[in-house]
Structure 1
């Protein structure tokens, strides 16, 4: 049995569940209020846990693989295998001070206090800069600490910067860039092919998200022109249309952000019956 630890709540829960659903491993007969849930594969089950606990669950073998933020992996200093950047949940850990503060750089904080929920990341950041500070560990409401005299600055997660502005704080440096990753227990990764299958399934969904599948009819004499237009993965697939001796069916995979311009060029070059469809999974 392979156990996958996923966030039980918060901003990472829904995107994680959706990604596994698209990869063919939906949550069955369970919810985030339960500890475990089945999947469409009888040998795979989900374990719902706090995102902050997942690195240690995977390290200790309570889960074989897990999904959590890179910031939490780094903060816990867990010994896990990094398998795949899932490309969502992007956020920065930023160093911020009160708007009215004269502090403008990390060097200005020499000997001062910095409050954070990420003491290890913070210590490493300032240590690499050769700056001595006092780290004040908090478990919440970090942005309030400079205003009540607990700290001179904070290191906290910022996705949009709105929370900092609301609390009259200004960022002065980026400390750590984070997104959500798939991780694995080192021993399980080496001894279970199912882990690789899960990684491949998720990877195929990610590859497909920004791709589109094009199908069109092309006059035989226009094929070379059409092929020059198409920025496919490895060139288009060309097939004969049986009902029309001078017409070919051309299929190609292209990036979603060039569909608009590409379709216009194809139409001008003589393509017809152009069909653009999304791709559910793409395995290179």
Structure 2
């Protein structure tokens, strides 16, 4: 049962997508996205590198069983695929923006526009229809932000992460059409025919996502101090306590916590008598995966 996963060949989500698979245990035998295909250490899984914008169609058509690409691209291609997981990176928004000196300042003002330029005509068309805005769509393949400046459009719809590029081009956000991030998607027929293997891959990826930003803290404590240690040690479901062989007065405790809490937690534990403290990185957490 072979599974082909489509990954972006370049761009800001390509590297993180490859890294995510590798952390999930699906390492590439040839870690180069210059080749169209790459095998993995699992003989049943291969990777296909292609344009992120083409991945939704390849997955929908069955050329790939699974794919990693932006939610905005899935909506723009308007294809019927199974969205398995939000991978929580590559966050962006598709917004409508107008020149800073334009009379278009609010969503209501958009009813006065004549033309909107965009690389996302499908999503933009739906937005215009849903908001009863009668405007012509000018489809562009890049540099959308210059369209109002050269007089070919009143406003644009374009992706932004921080808003910096819009501000650099003297554009002001009017409204957000969609919020997007990178998603794990699958072909619907493959979900029926290859469900077990696809679930294994999804589970591995979810385990990596759950482990992101988490650390395992371990410590030895006197039994008399155990209640104080429990209060000082946050965790996913409270600390785990186990006996220390050969020392009936000492127990070992460990708990998974956010790495943001590590500094504070260690100092709390030391103050209530914990010793032999260890902080260990976590590769995957499989708890609570459905």
**Fold shared by both chains (TM-score > 0.5):** yes
- So what's the TM-score if we normalise by structure 1? 0.97
- The separation in 2 between residues aligned to 1:231 and 1:191, in whole angstroms, is 42
Q: How far off is 1:228 after superposition?
A: 2.4
Contact 1:107 1:131 in 2 (8 A): no
- 1:160-191: per-residue Cα shift (whole Å, max 9, x none)? 21211221211121111000000000011122
Q: How far off is 1:139 after superposition?
A: 0.8
Aligned-residue CA RMSD in angstroms? Answer: 1.2
* 1:133 equivalent in alignment to 2:135: yes
- The separation in 2 between residues aligned to 1:269 and 1:127, in whole angstroms, is 62
Contact 1:143 1:164 in 2 (8 A): yes
Q: How far off is 1:12 after superposition?
A: 1.0
Q: Which residue of 1 aligns with 2:190?
A: 188
Q: Which residue of 2 aligns with 1:277?
A: 280
Q: How far off is 1:19 after superposition?
A: 0.7
Q: Which residue of 2 aligns with 1:247?
A: 250
Unaligned residue ranges in structure 2 (runs of 5+) = none
SS of the residue corresponding to residue 283 of structure 1 reads coil
Deviates more, 1:2-11 or 1:109-118: 109-118
Q: Which residue of 2 aligns with 1:28?
A: 29
- The separation in 2 between residues aligned to 1:265 and 1:197, in whole angstroms, is 39
Q: Which residue of 1 aligns with 2:214?
A: 211
SS of the residue corresponding to residue 234 of structure 1 reads coil
* 1:14 equivalent in alignment to 2:15: yes
Contact 1:30 1:38 in 2 (8 A): no
Q: Which residue of 1 aligns with 2:170?
A: 168
SS of the residue corresponding to residue 131 of structure 1 reads coil
Q: Which residue of 1 aligns with 2:181?
A: 179
- The separation in 1 between residues aligned to 2:153 and 2:29, in whole angstroms, is 46
Q: Given the superposition, is the C-alpha separation of residues 30 and 215 from structure 1 closer, same or farther in structure 2, using an over 3 Å criterion?
A: closer
Unaligned residue ranges in structure 1 (runs of 5+) = none
- The separation in 2 between residues aligned to 1:241 and 1:133, in whole angstroms, is 73
- The separation in 1 between residues aligned to 2:65 and 2:245, in whole angstroms, is 51
* 1:229 equivalent in alignment to 2:232: yes
Q: Which residue of 2 aligns with 1:102?
A: 103
SS of the residue corresponding to residue 244 of structure 1 reads coil
- The separation in 2 between residues aligned to 1:30 and 1:18, in whole angstroms, is 10
Deviates more, 1:233-242 or 1:135-144: 233-242
Q: How far off is 1:234 after superposition?
A: 2.2
